[in-house]
Amino acid sequence: MTSYLSPYIQESINLNSKYKDNYILAIQYSLDGLSFVIFDTEEQKFICLKHYRFSEKNVNIKSLILELQEREEWKLDDFKSVKILIDNNLNTFVPKDYYQKELEKDYLSMLNIKGETSIKSDSLTNDIINIYTAPSDIDDILSEYNNKINIVHTSSVIIESLVKEFSERIQGMRAFVNVKNNSYELTIINDTNLIFHNYFNFNTKEDFLYFILFTFEQLKIDNESIPLYFMGLIEEKSVLVELCSRYVRNIRFFNRDNNYNYINELDSIPYYYYYILYSSVSCE
């Protein structure tokens, strides 16, 4: 078949007959790449991480999933459960008390969505419904595997995992930046309540900083005291982080969740690069 996937990270393991009973597969799908992790529930261990770049644009997700299975020599049916994470900025949040399923298309009407899409929604623990679009052919995958696959938006994973992680810590305001290629999403949580979530495109390091400080100013947040956590495609010593550190005193990066185990090969890959993928397993 035509190859659409170009390997970037190759960290693998020989899977065995435990698949169906013990292994969870989480796949993160974005416009420019596809990543996945495999988690062994018996050993509570991440045993595989891979990332592929797309060699062509606008390839449908069904073709990508088919090629992924051929390349990896396993099938989605081989796993205890499969989660596909939709990574885009075509989503909106609605309070559960005001949500009506028949109005989902209307909720998304301001997002300038083009082409055929499938509308999905996630119910979050803090009484919020996250409504988003997924590729139209995602429903073909779902029907083929008899609803064994769970579809979820990456912003849902971020919010759920952050609320869970910080619910047992000292309460307070915290900000989180998930960096992509030329954009990022900024999430702010106070105690366990979602205060703010939005996406920003940037071309310069000054753009990057401006949107953070502007949001803090609008929400009357003290940038001298609020912790600002980074995740995603950013280096700890990048010019972006260096500039932010001049104006936000408390810069942090996520460390591994020590409740889980990891194969040695993953030691060389910063945990926060794939925070969403790792966290999607704990949100099972």
pLDDT digits (tens, 9 = 90+) for 46-97: 999 999 988 777 778 988 999 999 988 889 988 999 999 999 999 999 999 9
Q: Which domain holds residue 7?
A: 1-155
Query: Looking at residue 117, which CATH number applies to its domain?
Result: 3.30.420.250
Give the 3-state secondary structure of residue 75: coil
Contact 81, 146 (CB under 8 A): no
For residues 50 and 38, give the distance between their C-alpha atoms in angstroms, rounded to a whole number.
9
Contact 133, 117 (CB under 8 A): yes
Predicted confidence at residue 116, as pLDDT, reads: 76
Predicted confidence at residue 147, as pLDDT, reads: 67
Contact 280, 152 (CB under 8 A): yes
Q: Into how many domains does the chain fold?
A: 2
Predicted confidence at residue 167, as pLDDT, reads: 81
Predicted confidence at residue 222, as pLDDT, reads: 95
Q: Are 121 and 181 contained in the same domain?
A: no
Distances (CA, A) of 109 to 81, 90, 92, 119: 33, 10, 10, 12
* Reported confidence tier of residue 1, pLDDT bands at 50, 70, 90: very low
pLDDT digits (tens, 9 = 90+) for 107-164: 998 887 877 789 999 999 889 999 999 999 898 888 888 667 999 999 999 999 999 8
Residue 198 lies in a domain: yes
- How far from the centroid of its chain's Cα atoms is residue 220's Cα? 28
- How far from the centroid of its chain's Cα atoms is residue 154's Cα? 3
Q: Which residue has the higher pLDDT, 32 or 117?
A: 117
Predicted confidence at residue 171, as pLDDT, reads: 80
Predicted confidence at residue 160, as pLDDT, reads: 95
Distances (CA, A) of 244 to 1, 95, 198, 282: 46, 32, 18, 30
The pTM (predicted TM-score) of the whole model is 0.93
Q: Are 106 and 10 contained in the same domain?
A: yes
Q: Are 123 and 14 contained in the same domain?
A: yes
